[in-house]
Amino acid sequence: MRILICEDSVLLREGIARLLTDAGHDVVAQLPDASALEAAIAATDPDLAILDVRMPPTRTNEGILAAIGIRSRGDRPRVLVLSQYVEERYAADLIASGPSGFGYLLKDRVADIRDFLSAVEQVAAGGTVLDPEVVSQLLARRRRDARMERLTPRERQVLALMAEGSSNQTIADRLYVSAGSVEKHISAVFQKLELEPEDGNRRVLAVLAHLDAPTDHDSHRPNDQPGGIR
């Protein structure tokens, strides 16, 4: 995979480049800020762009604005945004820019090499990956949606894990249920959120509905022990 990195921290930029190279990816460009980003994309045609949220000169929203701009022009490159802290407004802006082919992770996640590389692969393939902390904070401040009220506590747990980018098998492992049970819960979620098969990527649309209309997140956290709600 061809990957471009735009990150002002030299140590983090070089570290990410090394991780990606060791994993067999081709790092085609490394930039300290977004000033030459568009030219670099045009010259290298990356599959994925990894961007810091805050970069010079103002260190406010340069990265997120660049990410939204990239996504507004088409499917390539996919975009994975890294942030030191949860920036709710910027995360919401990125989510609103389109339902797939993007990720928003806290920089701490880079230390978990397996999860980080998995997120890179998932976003590049057109998936959506949101850091659990991003999901948690977005959910905590949003209003209720009438459709979300239809979901059972277990269905909410399944949907919360979907929002984190978890696969069906991972959800099954986390909730101590079978993969078949997870599939049934997801089907129920689609039905209750009124997402028809022709709606395209229903999984992503369900996650977006979840982020738009959360309830009390803490009361719907996935159980960490067996014996929870089935």
Query: Is the confidence at residue 12, as pLDDT, over 50?
Result: yes
- The answer, yes or no, to whether residue 73 has pLDDT greater than 60, is yes
**Rounded distance between C-alpha atoms, residue 210 and residue 183, angstroms:** 18
Kindly state the average pLDDT of the residues 197-211.
62
Backbone angles phi, psi at 169, to 5 degrees: -65, -40
Q: CATH code at 55?
A: 3.40.50.2300
Tell me what pLDDT residue 34 has. 87
pTM of the entire predicted model: 0.64
Residue 165 maps to which CATH number?
1.10.10.10
Mean pLDDT, residues 31-49 taken together? 93
pLDDT of residue 52: 92
pLDDT single digits (tens) 130-178: 888 877 776 665 544 567 778 899 998 998 888 777 889 999 999 999 9
pLDDT in tens, 79-122: 999 988 777 677 777 777 666 788 889 888 888 899 899 999 99
pLDDT band at 213 (very low <50, low <70, confident <90, very high): low
Range of the domain at 192: 145-211
Are 88 and 184 within one domain?
no
Number of domains in the chain: 2
Question: Are 25 and 111 in the same domain?
Answer: yes
pLDDT for position 208: 64
36 and 109: one domain?
yes
**C-alpha span between 84 and 153 (Å, rounded):** 31
Cα–Cα distances in angstroms (integers) from residue 21 to residues 2, 44, 46, 196, in the given order: 10, 16, 14, 41
Shared domain for 106 and 15, answered yes or no, is yes
Q: Determine the pLDDT at residue 205.
A: 65
